[in-house]
A and B are shown apart, each in its own frame.
Chain A
């Protein structure tokens, strides 16, 4: 029906608006259902584990009756359905439970971790985007030359290296020059703000560089492919025929269109970035969300693991939604679809 409306000439703006609202509603619905699916999977998976929270209480000489009392206190004697409803209710209030490991609320632990992860991931992404854009554009521009082969080869090589291994290699290379782990020097006690910031940056450099190197390769390949596909379009040929210079064709006709798939693909690769962050933070003992996941796995700290998984899923979904918005802004064709 919408397509019929869009086809009539006068209905231009109205149908475009309706189109984008419909598009956004669909996207929002998918995002919401995904969150619900993730939350339910989270709940069910951890109920499938042998033993429950009560069996984690290890007190010598605990009687069966006392254990039953603990189970009742945790609400574990309730049917699964009402436990699930209770879980959803607590989630809605922002309660992710208490960490088995340090007995603090999971949310408090995660906030601290997010605050640590953010600078590392952002700096790393800036590295990756700059290197990826430069490599991809130059490779597409100088298609079939040594520059193309070399740039693409290097990008592929870094893409092929496991992030954790790349981090260890950088530690080997920078041994003695840069700190190999942690977020700050614990012996740096009575330093001023400048010294502390400098120390922090020195610790930040290697993880962020690893992050950048491990993820720039895929950007380079995506940007090169997208650019090449755009360069094959008829309108590029037309622009060429009009006599525009090469540079002007690329900048004004090809690049804006080539950026379209790149925005979505960057958002789609966020899941991979999250994976990278887990491995890299583990290697560098960077106390962020990734290390929280690793520590939770090691200690079988289920509430922390559940919370971190939920946080990562929701943030990836939000970023995808954001990419959809950007896409809607960039590509007018979707609005009338």
Chain B
């Protein structure tokens, strides 16, 4: 096996770019996520006003100086929205990464080791899958002090299960591959087989689940914050919706205090769903064939990857 080189990396990058060009959904999703990630990273440099700085009347209407109007204490909504981007994106990405790390580890261990380890791990996964997520999160968040780190852990606590299942199924199939058996026959150790022969083949799936998990995590962050379980000292999109809801933005007709944060959440969720699904399809091309469609009927070639 050739060592990974910069040449290889360039080739991979070029392949990704071609793939993005052929998948408009992935392109849109990727663009949305990148845009919000950039906003989260560099947003504080862009915020026109401080987030605890009173600049006008309560629920001041949008104006050229304040394109998104003012909130219930006369703070610029655009600045609040940008500040909220950082926490919402942070929680979304951190929670999904923690969950995929845990889920990936559980899935690979269960699938590769097999036997009673597999049974035990999958039973635990089953229990976690059945327990309704938000109520359990609410219970844990109620008894745990509110903070961003706790929020990340609480969301990750319930997000890892689907990854574990998916990865386990994949590893079970990969384990029986001829290449893996050959590697074992020439004396490769477990660590080498897992790291060099199994993990590289599930990276695509792991990336897809991470991206998909971002949408769920952002959703749950919004839900928990909306129920008043977020860190009251920080601003996130979910908390902005909560504040607007509790401080009667609706009956004041202050639509500008409530539409933008929800729209941002919807865009991030949409972006990560589009990109994640596209990556998942690239990793599992079977869903791409149909023998019947409404007008034309033709047999499409079976994709190369699903033949082995």
- Say yes or no: A38 contacts B294, CB within 8 Å: no
A294 to chain B, nearest CB (A): 6
Residue of A nearest to B124 (CB): A37
Q: How far is the CA of A268 from the CA of B142 in the complex (A)?
A: 25
User: Most B CB atoms within 10 A — which of A254, A268, A270, A312?
Assistant: A312
Question: Would you call B185 an interface residue if the criterion is a C-beta within 8 Å of the partner chain's C-beta atoms?
Answer: no
- Knowing A45-B140, A161-B266 are in contact, say whether A313-B292 is a contact too (CB < 8 A): no
Is B274 in the interface zone, CB < 8 Å from A? yes
Q: Are B291 and A34 in contact (CB under 8 A)?
A: no
A33 to B294, CA, bound (A): 47
Q: How far is the CA of A279 from the CA of B241 in the complex (A)?
A: 12
**B226-257 interface code vs A (CB 8 A; 1 in, 0 out):** 11110000000010010011000010000100
Contact A271–B262 (Cβ < 8 Å): no
Query: CB-CB < 8 A to A275: which residues of B?
Result: 132-135, 223
Chain B proximity of A159: nearest CB distance (Å): 7
Q: Verify A45–B267 contact, CB threshold 8 A.
A: no
User: Does B160 count as interface, using CB distance less than 8 angstroms?
Assistant: no
Residues from 160 to 175 in B contacting A, C-beta threshold 8 Å? none
- Check B223–A274 contact: CB distance below 8 A: no
B7 an interface residue at 8 Å Cβ cutoff? no
CB distance from B169 to the nearest CB of A (A): 14
Q: Is the CB of B228 within 8 A of A298?
A: yes
For chain A residues 12-52, which have a beta carbon within 8 Å of chain B? 30-31, 33-34, 37-38, 41-42, 45-46, 48-49
Any A CB within 8 A of the CB of B283: no
Residue in A163, A278, A283, A308 whose CB lies within 8 Å of B245: A283
Interface residues of A in 251-308 (CB under 8 A from B): 254, 268, 270-272, 274-275, 278-279, 282-283, 293-294, 297-298, 300, 305-306, 308
- CB atoms of B130 and A317 under 8 A apart: yes
Stretch at the interface among A68-76, A189-197, A224-232, A329-337: A224-232
**Residues A156 and B270 in contact, CB atoms below 8 Å apart:** yes
Q: Are B292 and A297 in contact (CB under 8 A)?
A: no
Structural contact, A271 and B133, CB atoms closer than 8 A: yes
**Residue in chain A with minimal CB distance to B215:** A160
The answer to whether B292 and A254 have CB atoms under 8 Å apart is yes
Check A274/B134 contact, CB under 8 A, given A144-B293, A168-B258: yes
- Chain B: minimal CB distance from A290 (Å): 9
Chain A residues in 8 Å Cβ range of B223 = 162-164, 275, 278-279
Complex Cα–Cα for A46 and B273 (A): 35
Structural contact, B126 and A30, CB atoms closer than 8 A: yes
Q: CB-nearest residue of chain A relative to B141? A: A297
CA distance A309 to B135 in the complex (A): 6
Asked whether A98 is an interface residue with its Cβ less than 8 Å from the other chain, the reply is no
B116 interface residue per 8 A CB criterion: no
* Nearest B residue to A279, CB-CB: B223
- Asked if A240 is an interface residue, CB under 8 A from chain B, the answer is yes
Chain A positions 127-143 with a Cβ under 8 Å from a chain B Cβ: 140-143
Contact at B135–A168, with CB atoms within 8 Å?
A: no
Question: Which chain B residue lies CB-closest to A38?
Answer: B131
Interface residues in B, total, Cβ within 8 A: 51
A162→B291 contact, CB < 8 A: no
Asked whether B132 lies within 8 Å of A231 as measured between CB atoms, the reply is: no
- Contact of B255 with A293 in the complex, beta carbons under 8 Å: no
Q: Which residues of B contact A228 (CB under 8 A)?
A: 287, 290
B36 within 8 A of A: no
- Is there contact, CB below 8 Å, between B292 and A168? no
**Which residue in chain B gives the minimum CB-CB distance to A165?**
B262
Q: Pick the contact of A293 from B138, B286, B290, B293 — CB < 8 Å?
A: B138
Please give, as numbers and ranges, the residues of chain A lying within 8 Å of B274 by CB-CB distance: 156
Chain A's closest residue to B289 (CB) is A232
B250 touches A168 (CB 8 A): yes
* In the assembled complex, A316 has its CB within 8 A of some CB on chain B: yes
Determine the chain A residues whose CB is within 8 A of the CB of B265 once the complex forms.
160-162, 165
Contacts of A166 on B, CB cut-off 8 Å?
A: 262
Known A156-B274, A237-B299; judge A278-B227 contact (CB<8 A).
Answer: yes
Alpha-carbon distance between A210 and B200 when the two chains are bound, in angstroms: 43
- Interface status of A169 (Cβ within 8 A of chain B): yes
Name the residue of chain A whose CB is nearest to the CB of B132.
A271
A42: nearest residue on chain B (CB-CB)?
B139
Closest residue of chain A to B142 (Cβ to Cβ) is A297
A272→B126 CA distance, assembly (Å): 16
Judge whether B132 and A279 touch: CB under 8 Å: no
Contacts of B195 in A (CB 8 A): none
- B123 in the interface (beta carbon within 8 A): yes
B219 within 8 A of A: yes
Chain B residues whose C-beta falls within 8 Å of the C-beta of A34 in the assembled complex: 126-127, 130-131
Contacts A240-B291, A294-B227, A320-B130 given; does A312 touch B135 at CB 8 Å:
yes
8 further interface pairs, Cβ-Cβ under 8 Å (given A42-B139, A162-B241, A297-B138): A160-B269, A161-B269, A162-B262, A172-B255, A175-B250, A232-B287, A271-B130, A305-B139
A-B contacts, 12 of them at CB < 8 A, read: A30-B130, A31-B130, A156-B270, A157-B266, A160-B267, A168-B258, A225-B287, A232-B290, A274-B134, A279-B223, A297-B228, A297-B229
Q: Which 6 A-B pairs have the closest CB atoms?
A: A165-B262, A275-B134, A160-B269, A271-B132, A160-B270, A231-B290
